[in-house]
Amino acid sequence: MKQIAFIDLFAGIGGIRLPFDELGYKCVFSSEWDAAAAKTYEENFGEKPYGDITKISSKSIPRHDLLLAGFPCQAFSIMGKMEGFADTRGTMFFEIQRILEYHRPQAILLENVKQLVSHNGGKTFSTILSILEHLGYHVKYKVLNALDFGVPQKRERIIIVGFRNLSKAKKFSFDFTPIPYSLSQILERDEDVDKSLFASEIIRKKRLARVQDKEIFYPSIWHENKSKNISVLPYSCALRTGASYNYLLVNGVRRLSSRELLRLQGFPDSFKIVVSHSEVRRQTGNSVCVPMIRVIAKKIKELL
């Protein structure tokens, strides 16, 4: 059986790639501009991703059957009929577009925040779907939640899957059996967690005073939102890169460890940590739910 070749764009730390590697796909090209993320990627996959994709020609990218990308969301402009690349030039989706135009792989998998659907009044998403159709892809999409894939993190993401072959596109389905999650399975023992991750006595007392009217249970994640309201939850809210250092506290007393952050995205414990804790926070906040991608990867493999 032919090995399916894929490319990994905006690769981050490899959350999209990981399940495809597990299933026997072959990565022939990867790209990530952030140096710290590239370091984590190289240590775990044995190859250094190429840098800024905007400076890499489509011709220099190897032939592939599948394009993977978790790309940044930016507004596009539409003026009347689609004027080739003019609508998206200057955005990161343009880089995907020009590579698809040149290589025409059999299938694509794109991942983004769920707000992509309503971004810029829905025009951004409409432009993406129109361009993919123009390039010959039959597309299906759905907003999926990491909580349904055995991961105790409420993280909703839009997944876009497309095939050049209409028959294969019709056969593809987002149907799956939800996998129960357990917060206790991803938590480390407090005594094994670095003392620097524990909140100060002042912060802990303030948090406790603000949840007296709520049901408190353990284990739990105490989430402080932008309005300073605290929720006691059996799961983590979505990991974010620019959030307050104390917006998520395990049992109201400590921050999540680097390993716990990776587990919340479904990375195995064999995944190497080679950067600082602050970098792990940023990298996991930018990453994807690995088990979610694994389910999609299996479905794509059945059709290619």
pLDDT score for 79: 41
Listed range (49-58, 143-152, 223-232) with the worst mean pLDDT: 223-232
pLDDT-derived band at 124 (thresholds 50, 70, 90) equals confident
Q: From 208, 166, 193, select the one nearest 303 (Cα to Cα).
A: 166
- Give the strands of the sheet with 138-145, arranged side by side: 26-30, 5-9, 66-70, 107-113, 156-163, 138-145
pLDDT score for 16: 99
35-45 and 277-286 helices, crossing angle to 10°: 90
Identify the residue with better confidence: 77 or 160: 160
Is residue 19 within 8 Å of residue 266, measured between CB atoms? no
Percent of the chain at pLDDT exceeding 90: 82
pLDDT tens for 65-103 read 999 999 886 665 554 444 444 556 668 899 999 999 999
Q: Please determine, for residue 7, whether its predicted confidence score (pLDDT) is greater than 70.
A: yes
pLDDT score for 227: 84
pLDDT tens for 205-249 read 999 999 999 999 999 999 998 888 899 999 999 998 876 777 899
Scan for tokens 């995944």, then name that residue: 271
Q: Please determine, for residue 118, whether its predicted confidence score (pLDDT) is greater than 60.
A: yes
Q: Which run of H or of E encompasses 127?
A: helix 123-134
Identify the residue with better confidence: 78 or 204: 204
CATH number for domain 5-178+288-301, candidates 3.40.50.12280, 3.40.50.150, 3.30.390.10, 3.40.50.1100: 3.40.50.150
Q: Which residues are catalytic?
A: 73
pLDDT score for 241: 81
Contacts of 226 (CB under 8 A, 6+ apart): none
Identify the residue with better confidence: 48 or 127: 48
Which one-letter amino acid corresponds to residue 2? K
Where exactly are the structural domains of the chain? Answer: 5-178+288-301, 190-284
Q: Please determine, for residue 189, whether its predicted confidence score (pLDDT) is greater than 90.
A: yes
For the CA atoms of 246, 36, 119, 141, what is the dihedral angle to 10 degrees? Answer: -110
pLDDT score for 83: 47
